[in-house]
Structure 1
Amino acid sequence: MAGSSKRGPKRKGVGGGGSSKRSPSGSRNNRHRHAGRSKVGEKGPVVFGRHPVMEALKAEAPIQRISVARDASGLPKELFETAKEMEIPVTRTDKDRLDFLSGGGNHQGVVAQIGERSFTPFESWLKKLQSEQADLVLALDQVQDPQNLGALLRSAEGAGCKFVLVSTAKSCGLTAAVSKASAGADQHLVLGRTAKMGVALEKLREAGFQVIATTPAAPDPYFKIDLSRPSVLLLGGEGRGLPPHLKRVATHVVNLPMLGKVQSLNVASSGAILLYESVRQRIEQNL
């Protein structure tokens, strides 16, 4: 059964105000913060219970996603406001899912999944981008597979693309699997997150960036675009690709020519091709 173990004591009443058989030393806040953390299968560490999740938010823990019960009542308004400010996705789900994530713990209708590190909220990310005068960005909308995200981060770092922007909804978090797939490249990147990718792209255009989107139906191949200019390389997630409203924001929509019978590449391969076309052009122009 997920979350159970015969080798250690079972944790009870985490964050719920109930008693615990263990009496760790330290402050009440520390007790909540650490007692609420568990590891459940491949889902990684979690914090569950109203007080522990709130304390994790206040401590700016690397929360990737917060799941709350569909019928939960009495959750603090501050929890939702803080999550929104930090651009952490909050999703409604059923009790069985929360039971699974918490390993059967007393979750009180809320579970936060913890990653290896935090994303930077968009406005702070944008300020850092402008202060460093970076001119190449990788923007990823709804990339869900950790292997794909890790591979993209590895390609970005290798291509000198330090700034990566990820959509909040339906995107993979910064998990241990992502870090491993990136071969540690994620540690050298500035990783931002936004709940409104379209708005973020508009702001990048206002800042002087061209936005390059890819789709198989586009008339022009990717190598016709001048990628030595300040550029955002925009890629959609597995399966659906880019939604129409993001294509409309793009300044250029290009294709990756396919000469075989299979008419598309996965997002990690597409991203690597675009990133290294940018490298080729910049080397050619001695930039």
Structure 2
Amino acid sequence: MRIFGLHAARTALEHVPEQTRRAWLNRSPDRKLLALRERLEALDIPVETTDRKRLDRLADSSHHQGIVLEVALPPEKGERELEERLSATEKPLFLVLDQVQDPHNLGACLRTADATGVTGVVVPKDRTVGLTPTVYKVACGGAETVPIYRVTNLARTLRRLKEAGVWIAGAAGEAEQVAFEADLKGPLALVLGAEGKGLRRLTRQCCDFLVKLPMAGSVESLNLSVAAGVLLYEVLRQREMKNSDLGCV
């Protein structure tokens, strides 16, 4: 996969330097690009100097900030790996995204999932965005650190999680219970539906309970990734993690 941009490049070199295959840099005396070149050369990653037009073609975008990397990202995982992770985790926290198709939303969810200690993100095989360069860039490191489990049958997977003692909490605007009043401290899978559509019927039926966020203004709902962020931080708050274990924004 080709990723681009200064922040995406720094993130790749920090988290997956061994999977960075090659780099293309703009002919520029820019200090930030020169620092990245030094880092790439120290890691023995091949670097090619080129012009902006070629970088535009390589990135399929003009927003590359003078750098494009070829990176072999960690592959998505499947149901077998999910089962292994489930059995090895004492109090898991899964984020389940039901047919989310916007790469910006998936990337933002991965970023927040990393920040809140999510065990993994579960997505259905069909009608769900994959790990694209946009997802990678928006995730700001979350794509490397949070595993994505792509499953064939989401309802069946949710039932399996329930059998393993994981509570399934679905986010729905029509829920009677506010998330801040629900018990989210135990093993949990937080389920959010697709943009504009919400939870599918079978997915909703697999939930143990539904929660909502209070809306004090005139808008009816929040952006998917924003809602996921609020809910995940509520889970984190309820799990009473020590302040010394948490970083600062």
TM range (shorter): 0.5 to 0.7
Deviations 1:68-123 (A, max 9, x none): xxxxxxxxxxxxxxxxxxxxxxxxxxxxxxxxxxxxxxxxxxxxxxx844210112
* Structure 2: runs of 5 or more not aligned: 1-57, 62-71
Q: What aligned pairs does 1:220-235 form with structure 2 within 5 A after superposition?
A: 220-235=177-192
**Aligned residue for 2:136?**
179
Q: How many Å apart are 1:133 and its aligned residue?
A: 3.0
Query: 1:146·1:177 contact (CA, 8 Å) conserved in 2?
Result: yes
Query: 2:98·2:124 contact (CA, 8 Å) conserved in 1?
Result: yes
Letter in 2 for 1:132: T
Q: How many Å apart are 1:279 and its aligned residue?
A: 0.8
Query: 1:125·1:190 contact (CA, 8 Å) conserved in 2?
Result: no
2:205 to 243, 248, 259: 248
* Greater mean deviation of Cα atoms: 132-141 or 176-185: 132-141
Structure-1 separation of matches of 2:89 and 2:171: 27
Query: 2:91·2:186 contact (CA, 8 Å) conserved in 1?
Result: no
* Structure 1: runs of 5 or more not aligned: 1-38, 43-114
**Aligned residue for 1:164?**
121
1:193 to 134, 137, 150: 150
Q: How many Å apart are 1:222 and its aligned residue?
A: 0.8
**Aligned residue for 1:202?**
159
Letter in 2 for 1:125: L
Which of the pair has more CA radius of gyration? 1
Deviations 1:230-260 (A, max 9, x none): 0000011111111111111000111111111
**Aligned residue for 2:12?**
none
- The alignment status of 1:124 with 2:81, answered yes or no, reads yes
**Aligned residue for 1:257?**
214
Structure-2 separation of matches of 1:204 and 1:162: 13
Structure-1 separation of matches of 2:74 and 2:121: 14
Structure-1 separation of matches of 2:107 and 2:91: 21
Q: How many residues align?
A: 179
2:237 to 261, 277, 280: 280
Structure-1 separation of matches of 2:198 and 2:95: 15
**Aligned residue for 1:66?**
none
- What secondary structure, in the 3-state scheme, does the structure 2 residue paired with 1:120 have? coil
1:220 to 1:233, Cα distance in 2 relative to 1, 3 A: same
1:238 to 171, 195, 218: 195
Structure-1 separation of matches of 2:242 and 2:146: 25
* Structure in which a larger fraction of residues adopt helix: 2
**Aligned residue for 2:112?**
155
Structure-2 separation of matches of 1:170 and 1:227: 28
Letter in 1 for 2:163: E
- The alignment status of 1:266 with 2:247, answered yes or no, reads no
Structure-2 separation of matches of 1:188 and 1:225: 28
TM-score (norm 1): 0.58
RMSD of Structure 2 on Structure 1 (CA): 2.4
Query: 2:104·2:134 contact (CA, 8 Å) conserved in 1?
Result: yes
Letter in 2 for 1:273: V
Structure-2 separation of matches of 1:279 and 1:257: 18
